[in-house]
Amino acid sequence: MRLAQHMAVASDRVRATAIEATEFPELSRSYRVQAVPKIVINDRVQFEGALPEAQFLDAVLRAAGSGSS
Amino acid sequence: MPLLNDRDREAVRTELAKMRGPVKLVVFSQALSSTADLCQQNEALVREVAELSDQITVEVLNLAIDRDRAEAYGVADVPAIVVEGARDYGIRFLGIPSGYEFSNLIDSMIVASSGETSLSDATKTSLQALETDIDIKVFSTPT
């Protein structure tokens, strides 16, 4: 969540929501959360586990459609 | 019963001393729902944190009553927390931020208080060039 929230502050375009998976089981099921942290960007790009900043950014850019998916 | 012990409180107070401006925590609850207990705990936690810095204000809203505000913030579930600095940067917490997410809540307040992030210049430049809205969901569990 740390990188996501810093990105939210850095750009008006970015919103970051931390979701406590056990308190929202239906939401977690609908996003097929099996391991945490699980990151879902624009319901389009998703990954599990922490990524370094550059790779996280790459995932954001892929979700934005400006990279290969 | 307080949720934070004395040692936690001191550690959080020290962290929050890094804040550089006011932050508002907008809490969404709903008393008459299956999540009423969670909402109550969430509110209690936020109030305990807010006591640790003069820079923090808290506003508690009801999801069922304050529908316009909830819609404006894009909040559809409770308990939820919106972390606002000089403006709404889009930082949301769904569920009680405990464990690792509690540290992130504190960090988000420090970042929102100044609007300054620890991201590299290259990352900031890329983010500022975004032409589409980006919604990042981070699922976690208390550890």
pLDDT computed for residue B1 by the predictor: 65
Task: Count the domains in chain A.
Answer: 1
> B140 in a domain, yes or no?
no
Query: A32: domain range?
Result: 20-64
> B118 in a domain, yes or no?
yes
Task: Count the domains in chain B.
Answer: 1
Yes or no, beta carbons of B139 and A22 under 8 Å apart:
no
> A15 in a domain, yes or no?
no
ipTM value = 0.95
Q: What separation in angstroms does the CA of A24 have from each of A17, A60, B41, B65?
A: 13, 24, 16, 22
CATH code for position A51 = 3.40.30.10
Query: B13: domain range?
Result: 6-128
pTM of the model: 0.95
Please, which residues have CB within 8 angstroms of residue B77's CB and are 6 or more apart in sequence?
Answer: A24, A27, B63, B94
Per-residue pLDDT tens digits for B52-81: 999 999 999 999 999 999 999 999 999 999
pLDDT computed for residue A69 by the predictor: 44
Yes or no, beta carbons of B138 and A38 under 8 Å apart:
yes
Low-confidence ranges of chain B (pLDDT < 70): 1
Yes or no, beta carbons of B135 and A15 under 8 Å apart:
yes
Q: What separation in angstroms does the CA of B15 have from each of B54, B105, B113?
A: 13, 11, 12
